[in-house]
Structure 1
Amino acid sequence: MDSKKSEVDEVTVSPILHPSNDTSKDAIAQPSTFSRISRISSIFMVLVGGLALFSDGYNAQVIGYMNPLFKELYPDAFTPTIKTRLSNAFLIGEVFGMLFFGWGIDRLGRRTGIVFATLFLIIGIVLATAAHGKSPTSMFWMMIIGRGVAGFGAGDETAFVRRRRGMLVAVATDFAIDLGFVMAGVIVLIVLAAYHQHINDGVWRVSFGLGFVLPVGLLFFRLRLINSTQYRKHAIKSDIPYWLVIKRYWKPMLGTSLAWFMYDFVTYPFGIFGSTIIGTLNPNNTLVQNIGFGTVLNCFYLPGTLIGGLLMDKIGRKQTMALGFFLWSILAFIIGGALNPITSVFPLFVVLYGIFNTLGEMGPGVGTFLCGAESFPTPVRGHFLGFAAAVGKAGAAIGTQVFTPIQNSFSDPQKGVQGVFLIGAAFAMVGCLLTWFLIPDKEKDLESEDARFRAYLEENGYEGTFGESIDAEIKSSAFHI
């Protein structure tokens, strides 16, 4: 690479910045060409990213529909401990995946991280689908390991879109995941119908195995994606000044991480065990009815993401997130406090449970990701967002871990359901307070925060390199123009 292209391709931060004065034709034309390629790649990134998250949602939620099936198919082996471990495995894998890929994205770029994530996801799904053992218990443990590996692969971070990110992030991330939740239920019902509602291990193997199709199909397209413009302009390739970063961003890091913990602690167990709750309150239901009701409950997630996306752009990220947490908490208190009269009209309980899901997605469902992304500058966004999301998934794993024991601690199953709703309400209210007092109001323009961050590093004497070469990505990209 010649010296003129080098000046365009990277910016070096030192106590005094020296912008390039090179106005040669090559220096101007290459960024213009890259900009067009990057725009095309960004469109594909949003589409492919949305499909990938749809796949992740399917693979995360399908286990929730399998729990009632496993209970009937393997009544002795499917103990409360196995049920909890199996429900938790994907989430615990995601915790480690988010930490690892959060680190890898900032150092290696989106494409490298995505490829490794997809490979882990595929391997994990294959292991879970092909699970065998000398006994049902050993088969379940192989399944647990496979889902843990798949969860690790699902722990990669999602790209951001700059303009009107509220609605775009809602549709490209949360809506896609929730649609995967819904389709998991639909697919399980179709598979059961194909087996004429005859319960055998083919039902869960086919349901798990179908989660393999989309990641394989997307792998080629993910290989061709180039890194986002924001990442290329501002990435720190080495020697990240962690102390300076934490000193400046400790408060939003604490706020986004703890709020995400509260959200996932509540939403994941109520989503995964939705069919189980329905079966507990209405024990005369068939397996198909319980899975069907669980699918209906997950459908209520979808309008929540769209409403939240609109409100994020209208009244602000922090305000929408706090409002969602507050309303979520109030409704959970109502359901938990008045569960007996509510369940006497069972469709009313299903509708209120569904609205409960809607409110969770409307506020923290969209807000945790977006506030976490916009609270930090591009060079360290993957680190901080990966950490916050990992804390959130730790909340999901803990919530899933304690959900069944809390229910079982009550002699009356209905009291157990009442207890988990009231505890969920308390956690949601804490999430509201954390959001209001710890998460800052941020500008929609990520570039402004990046500029302030670079100035802050300069003032504190940091010398390092931002940006990376454009040439290699243009040559390897499939989107030549």
Structure 2
Amino acid sequence: MSPLALKVMDDTVTRVEASATPPAKRTRHTSYLDVLVQGVALFSDGYNIQVVGYMLTVLAKLYPKETTADVKTRLSNSILIGDIFGMLLFGYCIDRFGRRLGVILTTLFLVLGITIATASHGGTVQGMYWMMVVGRGVAGVGAGGEYAVCTSQALECADGSERLRKKRGMLVAVSTNAAIIAGFVASSIVSIIVVKAYNGHPSDGIWRICFGIGIILPLTIFLFRMRLLDSTQYDKHAIQHKIPYKLALKYYWKPLIGTCTAWFLYDVIIYPFNLLAPTLVAGFSSNTSLLQTIGWSALINSFALPGAFIGALLMDRIGRKQTYALGWAIAAVFGFIIGGAMFKLQHIFPLFVVLYGLMQTCLALGPGDCNFLVSSESFPTPLRGHFLGFAAAIGKVGAAVGTSALTPVVSSFETKMEGQRALFLIGSAISVLGTLVVWFLIPGHPDALDDEDVKFRRYLEDNGYDTSHMGLKSEKNIESSVTGTGE
């Protein structure tokens, strides 16, 4: 018997044996748990992404000469570049090979990268920094991949029953954006605790401990995530061969442009605005300690967390598009208020902090929550990873553009206050543009994910695409394999 025939027989036996074992029954409680686990994974990503910002403060005090602006940029951009690569790579992989494989590989990259960064050393400080850059970049590939893996899995698990479906928007928002922001806040709390344990004195032990803690959660939940099955939606509608990219782009070009543009604009604002944290601290006191610097940054980040939960509550009540646009619009109002009253607010620092924090709250409430949800449920299951990963990657490109283009605005004016004023006004203008993009380019969400999948399958059939190979569990193929009457 030829090797090809043996392979065909082996594949047939494997399919029959798999079909003979009934899949694990997914109950409402296990579906909730599945969604929660994705949130824990993204919480871990949020921690690992943000903690480097606090550790740069420690490193700058330890190695003031070696921690140059270029070094800070490399450390910040390494995980950003890794994110982009991971989003695109794993967006493709989870559609082509299944969600479970994505879980394995993203965890591998994340743990490997964190380990390298934690163990960074070298003959010189610069050598240590380069090892740290490599480690952060590798971790970024895993963290970026988790955006596509966790969001797709959370969305599909939250669509498992009619009762869950009514809360799908809330469940996905909590397990994505809210979880990531909670990870940001957790990184600041851990940093404060570790710095306090060292009595506020900078030490190599601080950044190594804070980096190393990032390994705990991915490893803790890894075995549980390995037990998760691919969703029913993926089993029914997956396309693992002959992916119809041309037809898909022709059908989904409008929501793709809308989600990519909205995510791009959000990251253009949020990343450079987060760089204002040190400026706010400097406004509070001209001589702050390491603990005070991290503490004030933690306060600023914490404003986004209630916004993420408020957005999650609104999502299923007023709709995705409405929540999306509402967050953008109110953030624009706060930005215009701050920009217009900047010179008066410099004498009322606490009010400045509150207004800036409320702007962060609105950005988290609207685009922060909706970027993940809308970019995943606007597209069909067989290409969800592709489109979601691409939109998220375009968002990170926006982060790089915003940091490169808007950060110099502060230093281009005669006074720092004038630069900050211009930055808030530009941010508000971008928020207005984001509102318009959402309102005219973002589609309404499907009541059930299967509705969009059926529409897409019908569209493919109408355009001559053979849909007989779609899905992983074809009853027709299993039946013909058992009876020996394969075509």
Instruction: Show the counterpart of 2:113.
Output: 124
Task: For 2:66 and 2:413, locate their aligned partners in 1 and report how far apart those are by CA, in whole Å.
Answer: 23
Letter matched to residue 254 of structure 1: I
Could you give the per-residue CA deviations for residues 278-333 of structure 1, whole angstroms, max 9, x where no partner exists? Answer: 23433333221121111111111111111111221111101110111111122122
* 1:95 matches 2:107: no
**2:133 corresponds to which residue?**
144
Match of residue 83 from structure 1: 72
1:121–1:387 Cα change, 3 Å: same
Shift of 1:347: 1.4
Instruction: Give the one of 352, 357, 379 matched to 2:355.
Output: 352
Asked if 2 retains the 8 angstrom alpha-carbon contact of 1:87 and 1:400, the reply is no
1:307 aligns with 2:310: yes
Counterpart residue number, 1:466? 470
Report whether the alignment pairs 1:449 with 2:438: no
Q: CA 1:134–1:207 in structure 2 vs 1: closer, same or farther (change >3 Å)?
A: same
Determine if contact 1:38/1:226 at 8 Å carries over to the other structure.
no
Map Cα deviations across residues 23-42 of structure 1 (whole Å, 9 max, x no partner): xxx99x979x4361476763
Report if the CA contact (8 A) 2:307-2:365 is conserved. Answer: yes
Alignment partner, residue 63 of structure 2 = 74
Taking structure 1 as the reference length, the TM-score comes to: 0.88
Deviation at 1:247, TM superposition (A): 0.5
1:251 aligns with 2:254: yes
Q: 1:68 corresponds to which letter in structure 2?
A: T
- Return 5+ residue gaps in structure 1 as ranges: 11-25, 472-481
Instruction: Name the amino acid aligned to 2:392.
Output: A
Say what the alpha-carbon RMSD is for the aligned residues: 2.6
- Name the structure 2 match of 1:236: 239
Write out aligned runs for 1:103-252 (5 A).
Answer: 103-156=92-145, 157=148, 158=151, 159=153, 160=155, 161-162=158-159, 163=165, 164-252=167-255
The answer to whether the 8 A contact 2:51-2:210 is kept is yes
Q: Which one has more relative contact order, counting CA pairs under 8 Å at least 6 apart?
A: 1
SS of 2:144's partner is coil
Q: Does the CA-based 8 Å contact 1:281-1:413 persist in structure 2?
A: no
Corresponding residue to 1:417 among 408, 417, 420:
420
Match of 1:387 in 2: 390
Structure 1 residue 385 displacement after superposition:
0.7
Partners of 1:110 and 1:193 in 2: how far apart?
41
% identical aligned pairs: 51
CA drift at 1:245: 0.5
2:23 paired residue number: 34
More displaced stretch, 112-121 vs 203-212: 203-212
**Paired residue type of 1:129:** T
User: What residue in structure 1 maps to residue 37 of structure 2?
Assistant: 48
Distance change (3 Å), C-alpha of 1:246 and 1:38:
farther
Match of residue 432, structure 2, among 429, 434, 443:
429
Structure 1 segments (4+ residues) deviating >6 Å? none
CA distance in 1 between counterparts of 2:410 and 2:136 reads 24
Distance in structure 2 (CA, Å) of the matches to 1:410 and 1:205: 38
Deviates more, 1:130-139 or 1:368-377: 130-139
TM-score (norm 2): 0.87
Could you say what secondary structure the match of 1:155 adopts?
helix
Aligned counterpart, 2:346: 343
Separation of aligned partners in 2, 1:94 and 1:430: 25
Alpha-carbon offset, residue 401 of structure 1: 3.7
**Contact 1:265–1:400 (CA under 8 A) maintained in structure 2:** yes
Spell out, residue by residue over 1:373-400, the C-alpha distance to the aligned partner (whole angstroms, 9 max, x if none). Answer: 1211111111111111111111123323
Q: Count the aligned residue pairs.
A: 450
Give the corresponding residue for 1:276: 278
Whether the 8 Å contact between 1:166 and 1:313 is mirrored in structure 2 is: yes
- Deviation string 1:232-260 (CA, Å, 9 cap, x unpaired) is 11111110111111000000001100100
Shift of 1:403: 4.8
Are the equivalent residues in 1 in contact too, given 2:83–2:396 (CA < 8 A)?
Answer: yes
Q: Deviations over 1:20-76 (max 9, x none)?
A: xxxxxx99x979x43614767634421221111110000111122223323322222
Could you tell me whether the CA contact under 8 Å between 1:326 and 1:432 is conserved in 2? yes
Deviation at 1:89, TM superposition (A): 1.7
Distance 1:444 1:95 in 2: 30
SS in 1 for 2:190: helix
Change in Cα spacing, 1:60 to 1:111, as seen in structure 2 (3 Å) is same
Structure-1 separation of matches of 2:130 and 2:412: 25
Q: Matched residues in 1 for 2:454 and 2:35: separation?
A: 25
Distance across 1 between alignment mates of 2:474 and 2:272 = 44
The aligned amino acid for 2:465 is: Y
| Match of residue 438, structure 1, among 433, 436, 441 | 441
3-state SS of the aligned residue for 2:470?
strand
Distance 1:141 1:405, change over 3 A: farther
Structure-2 change in CA distance of 1:284 and 1:419 (3 Å): farther
In structure 2, C-alpha distance between the alignment counterparts of 1:398 and 1:207, rounded to whole Å = 29
